[in-house]
Amino acid sequence: MGFTVVTDALRKAARTARTAGEGAGAVNVAAEADQIAAAMPGGAAAAAAAKLAGHWKSSVSSWATDVQSHAKRLEESAALYEKKDTQARDDMRQAF
């Protein structure tokens, strides 16, 4: 019993994830909530909007970092699969 890993697919997934992480990290999704807080100073809505803006900034930043780390691990996995396949092929050639 065995399995096949398509390393090109892993690398493509890594590129897609990296692009998504870079894009998300560059977008200020909290800008609208910041504007609400600035437009309604002192009110409950302003406080809630400011809290929401902070949460969005933190969440998006964390997600962007996490997805870029995932991309790196996908690339490392592809490289390791290829390295191990090459080693196994070379071992088989030496055995026969």
Q: Is 42 left (phi over 0), alpha (psi -120 to 50) or beta?
A: left
Instruction: Give how far the C-alpha of residue 36 lies from the chain's centroid of Cα atoms, to the nearest Å.
Output: 29
Query: Domain locations in the chain?
Result: 8-95
At 12-70, the pLDDT tens digits run 999 999 999 999 988 888 888 888 888 888 888 888 988 999 999 999 999 999 999 99
At 26-37, the pLDDT tens digits run 888 888 888 888
Show the DSSP H helices in 1-96 as ranges. Answer: 7-26, 31-39, 44-95
Please give the model's pTM, rounded to 2 decimal places. 0.78
